[in-house]
Amino acid sequence: MFQWSPCLLVLALTTISISACATTSEETECKSMIHEPAEDLFLEEIHGDRALQWVKDHNARSLDRLQSDPRFEPIKSQTLKILNSPDKLLQVTFREDYAYNFWRDAKNQRGLWRRTKIKDFLKKKPKWETLIDFDKLAETEKENWVYGGVVAFKNRALVSLSRGGKDAKVVREFDTETKQFITDGFSLPESKSRLAWIDEDTIFVAPAIDADDLTDSGYPRKVFVLKRGQSLEQGTLVFEGDKSNVSVGGSTVRDEESGPAKHRLVYRSLDFFNNEYYLLRNGQTLKLPVPTTAEPSFDEDSLYVELKEEWSRGDATYTAGSLLRFNLEDLLADGNAPAELLFKPSHEKILSSFFVHRGRRFLLLSEHVTLHLYELIGDKLKPIQIADNASIGLSSYSKSQNLLIVSAEGFLKPETRFVFDLTKNTISEFDQQPARFDATPYEVNQHFATSPDGTRVPYYVVGKKNSSRGPRPAIIHAYGGFEVSQRPHYSASIELGWLKNDGVWVLANIRGGGEYGPDWHRAALKEKRQKAFDDFHAVAEDLIQRKITTAQQLGIVGGSNGGLLTGVAFTQRPDLYEAAAVQVPLLDMMRYHLLLAGASWMGEYGNPEDPVIREAILKYSPYQNVKADVNYPEVFFMTSTADDRVHPGHARRMAAKMERQGHPFLYYENIEGGHGGAANYEQTALWVALEYVYFQQKLMDKK
């Protein structure tokens, strides 16, 4: 089965020029807010000498304090030991007879791309065959290469190489049989281009190299078909988007993994959540007659459509979150062809994802945040029992081998893998991540807070048993955007840095995420963004009301969109939070659309040059709302110089403004690492240790 998801990830873009504000009278006001104050705009020069010196000075001050804490080194060293552990679970991708794996440990810090036969992998006797040693490659080429993923077909792979963890990547063609990069093979210079195989000698290329290639967002605007031996200039242009689109790309649908392309497709993203899809047939470009917000996928003669908003067609109206099936050819011939309703969501059961295997349909449903697996037989849902009190995930799938690897984990349950034999219809435990801590002292509870508009917001509380001991230090983590769901997950670092010291960990499932389907996400879109922040504050207040913690013991953490969330939280309610780790954040929402990936997120946040959106943004944007005469917690800003997705200027300028206003803060910027903050395990361990030492200092140390 092939499933489209062109905008599931928040991807990297280039800086763009601003468009005109709504009217002439508003233009001066709008632009003054976007460009003022000039005194800290130098910090948006990512590699500017003055900006980097500012970073080094603030890094030194923060690192001196946190690294000198006697708790720092034990947390860092133990985290690194866990990350490098040889017994950690293997993440694999199945292709034909092989299981492919990217592996890192203390010896292989940049990692190995390797493979073994699936039959040996399932017997737990893998005979690993190294395809690329990235440490050796980086040393030989004197480059700071970070593995950026592969797009494989038969014995060929388009390998992406990232410098320091950036989203922009160099692409080279690799032969998995000879284990060599192919001289004069398919290749692209460092860029945010997109590629897909059509056959062994033909690829789709959506280049993002020259200015004419790009949308206003900095993504590819054109799709070419490129034959082996052709230069990009010799490729055939098959699709062209508009400058105002976010991006375009191409892909294929195959009945079998290494079979011929059954369908050739192109798409264009109108914004982050609206996409148009086209089939390329006999020189024609046929648009799929489905809503732009829907997610289509293909299997055999069927087109499956997952709805993200209500859709009325003919006499029928289908709710957001429904799953429909069409006969593809019938739909192309007649846009009013009948639909088969396979699944309709309820508040208790929300479609998270699905897949189809040779006519069998499997649905992963979210039930109050936790995921459960079902098979859809006719119009009945048959539960597939995997594990009790755990959230289920789909790990790896092989159509040719008729098998699925299913995972199950919880806050206190290490991930366990199960082999689902789709031929024999049997499920057997395959492997389990070793327990990194004794879970017996801890418990997990789910509560619901009530937001100001009456919405019940779920959140999990993880901590030591016997809550009668009174309020304890707590950290709330949340994301609340882009329909990204936060699920229970096993984390040794949370126990190591927090739970073992009698801290409480909280996961808040606020609106803006996808825990309750598309409507849960859309409730906090654009001018309704404050709903997500209200939910977050409501969770904090509920924790205090339940005497789980106090405002003086409460910290918050979030990254990317979660960094915006934590930035808003401490500026709106400084009375409610004692500490805030604001990681790779968006903070100046009047300028976010001008910086790197920002333009592509206007589908989520709206355009600040629109008067309605601007009014909403100005009420919550942290940079515009931090005040000199308000007492804020000592915030810890964490970001990365190499982040070419969310501009480090957000964190830099917010910290600089708070410094001018006389507020205390800590600041750490990793010179590499991309949007993930770290390019290798050593950097990840450093990041984790800095975060938890900060929280322990602020929330656990006696004052």
Three-state DSSP class for residue 181: strand
Distance CA 205, CA 572 (A): 45
The answer on pLDDT for 334 being more than 90 is yes
Asked if 251 and 6 touch (Cβ cutoff 8 Å), the reply is no
- The type of residue at 358 is R
| Average pLDDT of the residues of the chain | 91
Q: What's the pLDDT tens digit per position in 20-30?
A: 343 444 444 55
The answer on pLDDT for 597 being more than 90 is no
Residue 676, pLDDT score: 56
Is 675 designated active site? yes
The answer on pLDDT for 17 being more than 50 is no
Q: Report, as an integer, the average pLDDT of 250-268.
A: 95
Q: How many CA atoms lie within 13 A of 200 on its CB side?
A: 8
- pLDDT above 90 coverage of the chain, percent: 83
| Close Cβ partners of 421 (under 8 Å, ≥ 6 residues apart) | 402, 403, 427, 428
Q: Give the tokens for residue 409.
A: 């984990």
**Cα three-residue angle 150-218-621, rounded to 5 degrees:** 110
What one-character-per-residue DSSP string does 376-445 give?
Answer: EETTEEEE----TT-EEEEEEEETTTTEEEEEEE-SSS--EEEEEETTTTEEEEEEEPPPSS--TTEEEE
* pTM of the predicted structure, to 2 decimals: 0.88
Q: How confident is the model at residue 363 (pLDDT cuts 50, 70, 90)?
A: very high
Three-state DSSP class for residue 586: coil
DSSP-assigned letter for residue 528 = G
Q: Report, as an integer, the average pLDDT of 415-438.
A: 94
> Residue 72: phi, psi to the nearest 5?
-65, -55
| Close Cβ partners of 142 (under 8 Å, ≥ 6 residues apart) | none
The answer on pLDDT for 8 being more than 50 is no
Could you tell me which of 334, 309, 304 has the C-alpha nearest to residue 319? 309
Q: Give me the residues paired with residue 117 across strands.
A: 98
| Close Cβ partners of 95 (under 8 Å, ≥ 6 residues apart) | 152, 257, 398
The H-assigned helical ranges of 7-69 are 24-35, 49-67
Residue 530's H or E segment, with its range, is helix 530-545
Distance CA 408, CA 489 (A): 9
Q: Which of 162, 297, 560, 600 is catalytic?
A: 560
Residue 640's H or E segment, with its range, is strand 634-640
What one-character-per-residue DSSP string does 194-252 give?
Answer: EEEEEETTEEEEE--SSGGGB-TTSSB-EEEEEETT--GGGSEEEEE--TTSSEEEEEE
| CATH of 49-79+436-699 given 1.10.10.60, 3.40.50.1820, 3.40.50.2000, 3.30.420.40 | 3.40.50.1820
How far are the Cα atoms of 412, 497, 548 from residue 465, in angstroms, in the given order? 13, 18, 12
The answer on pLDDT for 2 being more than 60 is no
Is 560 designated active site? yes
Total residues belonging to the chain? 703
Residue 9, pLDDT score: 34
Q: Give me the residues paired with residue 47 across strands.
A: none
* CA atoms 433, 439, 440, 446: torsion sign: negative
Could you tell me which of 170, 171, 177 has the C-alpha nearest to residue 156? 177
Q: What's the pLDDT tens digit per position in 221-235?
A: 999 999 999 999 999
* CA atoms 579, 535, 619, 519: torsion sign: positive
